[in-house]
Structure formats: C-alpha cells, structure tokens
Amino acid sequence: MRFFKSLLPALAMAMPLYAQWAPAGDKIKTAWAENIDVNNVLPEYPRPMMEREEWQNLNGLWDYAITDAGTASPAVFEGKILVPFAVESSLSGVGKRLGDKKELWYQREFKIPSSWNKKNVLLHFGAVDWKTDVWVNGIKVGSHTGGYTPFTFDITAALNKGENILKVKVWDPTDRGYQPRGKQVNRPEGIWYTPVSGIWQTVWLEPVPERYISGMKIVPDIDRHLLKVDVNTNMASVGDKIEVSVYEGNVKVAEQAVINGGSVEVPMPADAKLWSPDSPFLYDLKITLNNKGKKMDEIKGYTAMRKYSTRRDANGIVRLQLNNKDIFQFGPLDQGWWPDGLYTAPTDEALLYDIQKTKDFGYNMIRKHVKVEPARWYTHCDKLGIIVWQDMPSGDRSPQWQSRNYFNGAENVRTLASEKNYRKEWKEILDYLYSNPCIGVWVPFNEAWGQFKTQEITEWTKQYDPSRLVNPASGGNHYTCGDILDLHNYPGPDMYLYDAQRATVLGEYGGIGMVVKDHLWVPDRNWGYVQFDNSNDATREYIKFARQLRKLIDRGFSAAVYTQTTDVEVEVNGLMTYDRKVIKLNEALLKEVNNEICNALE
C-alpha cells in the first residue's frame, strides 16, 4: 500500500502529458510503439563512442507550431509534439506535412542542474532535417544545414540560473531542394516514401570543462600493431597532454600519450584480438586531456582492431578482405524506416531488433541504403559484428542512368550551392562515422541519383579515409575508379559486367514480394519486383536465387546485397513486414543458405 501511494504523485504528473499526446493517424504500428512513454523517450546515452558521465535528455513533449516561411516566431503554439519524432510521423502526435513554403517551430523549457555550475554547457542535436536555427532565452546560439549528422552549440553564455527557454526553427524543402534526402518525396509512391522534417534524433545537454575533447578519429593498423588516435579539443594550449589507454575488460593492455597535439600512436599487443562478424571483439578506450598535471577532461569509448582491403586470389579475381583474409560479404538492403516513427525507431530495442534479426538470418553485412542512422545503431553493429556499407543519402536531380555498361554520357551538373552542400554533408557523414569499426565501405552514389563528378568524389573519399573501401556508384553510372564495380539486377542474380582490376559485386537483387494481410501500410495497394502469396513459395524463390548467386561467386562476385530487410510503406519486398510483427520467410532455411554463401570463400 505504501508503494502504491508513492506512485500517485508521479502518475498525477504523467497523466496531463499523456492527455496532450496520442499517436497520429491510423497506419500500422510496431509493438514497441504501442508502449511509448512520453516521459522516457529514447533515454539511452546517444553517443556511445565518446561518453561522459553527466548529461540531460531533452526528448519528450515540446510545444510546436507551423508557420509561413519567413514569418516571425509564433506568439501562440498549436499543440504538443513528441521529440524526437518527425512532424509527419505518427509518433510525433502531429502527423502533418511541412513543405517548402512552411517552417516548423519548437519550444520547451529546461533547467540546468546546480552541479553543472562553473561548467560550459553544450546543446547537442542528433539530427534535424534540414535547415535549423536555434535560440536560447531569445539569443541565437547557432544554425546548421544537413539532415543526417549531429551538431552542437555551446550555449553557456545564453543561460539563465533558473528556467531557460529553448526555441528551434526548421525549414525542409524535401524534393523541392537540392539537399540530400534519400527516399523522401512530397508525393510518396512505389519506392519513394513520406517526407521526414524537423528533429528526428535525440536532443540533449552535456556539461564540459572550459577546455574539453571535442572529437576523435581512430584508425587501427593490424599489420603494424598500432592504433592511431587523432584527438580534437575545442581550444589548444601549450602543454596539453593527450593520453590514450586501451582496456580488455578491466585490464589495461596498451597506452600512449602525446604533448601539444598530433596523433597518438598506441602500440598494441602482437596478439591483439581482431574484430570480425564471427568474433566482434571490442577494446574499451579512455582518452584524457591533461595540462600541467591537471586533468581537464576525460571520455570513454571503444575501438577494434580490424582491416578492410582487397586482394587478387589464385584465379585472378579481386576479392574483398577482412583482416587479410578473403570474405564474401552478404547482407540485406536496410532502409531504416518505421511505420510509426518514419526515420526514427520507437525505442532502442527496436533499433537493435533489425540488426539482431540480420545476424539471426545468417548475414554478415548490411547496406545502409540512402540513409544515416543514429550513433547507437552503428554501436549495435559494432557489438554484434555486422559490416556496414554506408550510402550517401541521395539528392538533387538524376542524369541519364546506364546500368549495364560503362557510362559514356554527360554527368549531372549541379549548381555551385548544390555541389558545395553535397561535399559538406558527405564529409560530415564520414567524420561522424570515421571511428566505427563496422563501417567497411563508403558509397557516394546510388543508381545515378544525383550523381556528379564521380571520379573526383570517389578519389576524394578514398584519400580522406584510406582505411575503408569506396564503392563509387552502386548500380551505376559506372566509372573505372574506386575499389568496387557494383551491379544491380532484379529479381535474380546476374553478372553482366566484370572488372578484373576491382572487386565485382551484386549491390542489389531479389525483391521477393509477399503480402501479409493486416500488416500493410496501404491495404489495397502494394508493390514488389515479384510477388508470392505464401511463405513456402517465397522461401523457395529466395533459395533458388541464393543457389544462382553461389555459382556466380566462383565466377567473380565478391559481395551481394539482397533487397530487403523489411517492407517499407507500399513496398512488400521485405524479409519482415513493415511493423516487424511477421517474419515472412522460413528463418531456419534462410540462415542455412545464407551461412553457406557467407562462407563461400573460406
């Protein structure tokens, strides 16, 4: 009885919040969405590779308003929106379209804990699509463009001792702009989906000292038994000492320090454990900033010893390698869409689920298709042992597409602003994911979608990150640059081009469709490359394609991507339904044949 009484105040405070929020619309939802707690939305630490102990989550119910673009901040807000779900999503509680003629405003209050006194306070946004302006207590603290990467403002000078007011304005033109947008369009149909506007990843506060570690890049070198760590600070000072310590559990296995900046090259044990899909071993990291014997800042993270490369085998075929061993990389096209949250998984458990099922199905790789995920998604891949091919989200207009021969037409000519923005956002994505062990391949372009200056972009990407492979254009237009020639063919596998100088891969195939009643985005309209009406027939088709692929591995394929992990909106090509409630193919048979393919080069 005493316990029940202690709950009453908390319930009384929570009830008004629930009264102001309910999922919008009548579309299908995942099981996780059915248990959303508006007081505890995505509560997990959002940046696992660079962790500090103190932080404050700002997810939850905010005030919102939609106004004509270019007008002043609204005096009155329309209602509540659940952050961090996009305004178009069901879980936002709003379910409204924005469009290029409107702007979306957010507002909420927050307090700074007294324990943060005399510290600087950083305001972090996981991702906001697309152009963002931010005010704290009426003072503009910064702006950002880009829909897929985190950004941060130091808001210390704008803070009050008591209540603080945070205001955010977002403009997102979707397909009426040149910016990267992936598969978002204003008129969804077929393979094109609902727009995603505004905040769609966690918003959070973090206290830091006046001088602090602002970022890092980690590159393992298994051949030289080294771990190279580049550490950035918000401001440099003579005498700064960066210390890097590497742990296996509670045992320190390596350490190194550098004075006055520069790279820290940490000697690793000659028998260091290597990361792979079969054994995804991670080392813990501690990075400390000291000056004159005083600890200024410290972060915790993790890393792995692994190497991505290519090599010509005994038959002259260029193979992908992991840790100097041939590996056939095989996995699904993963688009990362949710019927209730659109770009945003309803919970961290949901975010993990798709990756875990990919492992359960027997795959060793995921192609993250024209989308970038929250940092925790990549950490889940690091921990579970999944190699990731990371696409650049497509944008702008598409030139002529030639998929079955090398391209001989005119490439897309972007405006100066479009090209500059592409380069900015692509570099931000590389910087964001540079240290994640799971990232094995960068994919700057997909199927000529916004493709331009392919050779130049490919060479820049390879130079900026020589530790990964670069797949210049998945599915074309094809140029003789980068590490990979990537073919697309539906529905079954086919090798209609071959490159003796690079790895030849099947970047998309499959698309076996199957309608599952009561688990459809639109009950009377759906689409697939080929369609079956039962699991047995769909599974047989999958195995037939897998047997064809197995023969093509001997002829020269070095990786393959099956379309796709889940249904998405009116697409019914998934291994699972859009709501993740039904696995459509026979999982045991799927795992058996997938394991055979993944082990084909052993």
The per-residue pLDDT for 430 is 98
Q: What is the H or E stretch that residue 300 is in?
A: strand 294-303
The stretch 188-206 carries a mean pLDDT of 97
Query: Which residues, in sequence order, are CB contacts of 20 under 8 Å at separation 6+?
Result: 61, 79, 80, 93
pLDDT digits (tens, 9 = 90+) for 299-311: 999 999 999 999 9
The pLDDT of residue 11? 43
Query: Is the CB of residue 545 less than 8 Å from the CB of residue 491?
Result: yes
Confidence of residue 7 (pLDDT cuts 50, 70, 90): very low
The C-alpha angle 246, 384, 568, rounded to 5 degrees, equals 135
Q: What are phi and psi of 228, to 5 degrees?
A: -95, 125
The length of the chain is 602
Q: Going by C-beta distance under 8 Å and a sequence separation of 6 or more, which residues neighbour residue 119?
A: 207, 208, 209
d(CA 527, CA 39): 38
Q: Is the pLDDT of residue 550 over 50?
A: yes
* CATH number for the domain whose boundaries are 213-303: 2.60.40.10
Whether pLDDT at 238 is above 90: no
Q: What is the rounded distance in angstroms from the CA atom of residue 491 to the CA atom of residue 528?
A: 10
User: Can you read off the two tokens belonging to residue 173?
Assistant: 């033109």
Q: Which CATH class is domain 23-208?
A: mainly beta
Residue among 556, 523, 506, 562 nearest 332 (CA): 562
Taking the model in full, what pTM does it have? 0.95
Q: Is 396 in contact with 412 (CB distance < 8 Å)?
A: yes
Type of residue found at 532: F
Q: Report the distance separating Cα 325 and Cα 316, nearest Å.
A: 15
Give 484-517 as a DSSP string.
Answer: EEEEE-SSS-------SSSEEEEEEEE-EEE--T
Q: Is it the case that residue 61 has pLDDT exceeding 80?
A: yes
13 band by pLDDT with thresholds 50, 70 and 90: very low
d(CA 116, CA 137): 18
What does the block give as tokens for 374?
Answer: 């929250």
Residue whose entry in the numeric block shows the structure tokens 């609204």: 74
Q: Is the predicted pLDDT of residue 327 greater than 70, yes or no?
A: yes
Q: Given strand 294-303, what is the order of strands in its sheet?
A: 251-259, 240-248, 283-291, 294-303
pLDDT of 3 reads 38
**What DSSP line would sit under 128-149, residue for residue?**
EESEEEEEETTEEEEEEE-SSS
Banded pLDDT at 144 (limits 50, 70, 90): very high
Averaged pLDDT, 396-415: 92
Cα separation of 581 and 442, whole Å? 31
Q: Which residues of 578-593 are buried (b: 16+ CB within 10 A; e: fewer)?
A: bbbebbbbbeeebeeb
Q: Where are the domains of the chain?
A: 23-208, 213-303, 327-598
pLDDT of residue 524: 81
CB-CB contact of 48 with 105 (8 Å)? no
Computed over every residue of the chain, the mean pLDDT equals: 95
Q: What is the pLDDT of residue 134?
A: 98
Phi, psi (degrees; rounded to nearest 5) at 397: -100, 165
Alpha carbon of residue 451 to chain centroid: 21
Per-residue burial over 476-494, b = 16 or more CB atoms within 10 Å of its CB, e = otherwise? bbbbebbbbbbbbbbbbbb
For residue 292, pLDDT over 70 is answered with yes
Helix (H, G, I), strand (E, B) or coil at 381: helix
Arithmetic mean of pLDDT, 232-237: 90
Q: For residues 213 and 244, is the Cβ–Cβ distance under 8 A?
A: no
d(C-alpha 455, C-alpha 469), whole Å: 14
Mean pLDDT (whole number) for 144-152: 98
CATH topology of domain 327-598: TIM Barrel (3.20.20)
**pLDDT at residue 260, as a whole number:** 80
Distance CA 85, CA 60 (A): 10
What local confidence, expressed as pLDDT, does residue 125 receive? 98
Query: Within 10 Å of residue 189's Cβ, how many Cβ atoms?
Result: 11
Mean pLDDT of 196-221: 97
DSSP letter at 393?
A: P
Residue 358 one-letter amino acid: T
Q: How far apart are CA 195 and CA 489, in angstroms?
A: 27
Distance CA 248, CA 555 (A): 41
Lowest pLDDT segment from 433-442, 476-485, 522-531: 522-531
Ramachandran area for residue 543 (φ above 0: left; ψ -120 to 50: alpha; else beta): alpha
Dihedral of the alpha carbons of 248, 251, 254, 258, in degrees to the nearest 10: 110
Model confidence over 44-56: pLDDT tens digits? Answer: 999 999 999 999 9
The label of the residue with tokens 């008591």 reads: 162
What integer pLDDT is reported at residue 8 of this predicted model? 41
Residue 239 pLDDT grade (very low, low, confident, very high; cuts 50, 70, 90): confident
Q: pLDDT category, 551, cuts 50, 70, 90?
A: very high
Q: Hey, what are 67's tokens? A: 């106004």
pLDDT of residue 237: 84
The band of 448, judged by pLDDT with boundaries at 50, 70 and 90, is very high
Proportion of the chain in helix, strand, coil states, percent, rounded to 5: 20, 35, 45
pLDDT of residue 488: 98
Per cent of the chain over pLDDT 70 is 97
Residue 349: how many other CB atoms lie within 10 Å: 12
- Residue 10 reports pLDDT greater than 90: no
Confidence of residue 361 (pLDDT cuts 50, 70, 90): very high
C-alpha span between 134 and 97 (Å, rounded): 21
pLDDT at 369 over 50: yes
Residue 285 pLDDT exceeds 60: yes
What is residue 16's predicted lDDT score, i.e. its pLDDT? 53
The pLDDT tens digits of the residues spanning 107-129 come to 999 999 999 999 999 999 999 99
**Rounded CA separation 237/296 (Å):** 11
